[in-house]
Amino acid sequence: MARKRHALLIFHGSARETASNAAAVFVENLKKQNNPVDFSICFLRGAEPTLEKAIETAIDNGCTSLRLIPLFLLPGSHIDEDIPAIIEKYQLANPHIEFEAGSCLVHNPQFIKFVANEIGEN
């Protein structure tokens, strides 16, 4: 049976409406890229859906392979502790689900290339 893949883009979250609006616009722009994998966004705090709720929804929708992509610039407690603890909780409860977590953006070579290109823009 083929694995049903889903990606979760994890934002920090904010109670500010402008932050939620920016996330929604970001998602709409990503959808225009014709991604081969279904994806959704979630937040660690301050907005809905939370990471936990998004994982539960993906599992309820039959997801068997879940890639978590934190949209955090720098390493810190969210990358090193909070997200791994949430993954561990759900992995223990759902051993049939494959979880994969990305790192912060400064460790992503394509993000480094993006910033280098931005620096070179006139």
pTM of the model: 0.89
> Running along the chain, 122 residues long, what does each successive block of 10 average in pLDDT?
86 86 90 86 92 97 96 94 97 96 94 94 72
Q: Mind spelling out the 3-state secondary structure of the chain?
A: CCCCEEEEEEECCCCCHHHHHHHHHHHHHHHCCCCCCEEEEEECCCCCCEHHHHHHHHHHCCCCEEEEEECCCCCCHHHHHHHHHHHHHHHHHCCCCEEEECCCHHHCHHHHHHHHHHHHCC
Instruction: For the chain, give every domain's residue range.
Output: 5-120
Give the CATH architecture of domain 5-120. Answer: 3-Layer(aba) Sandwich (3.40)
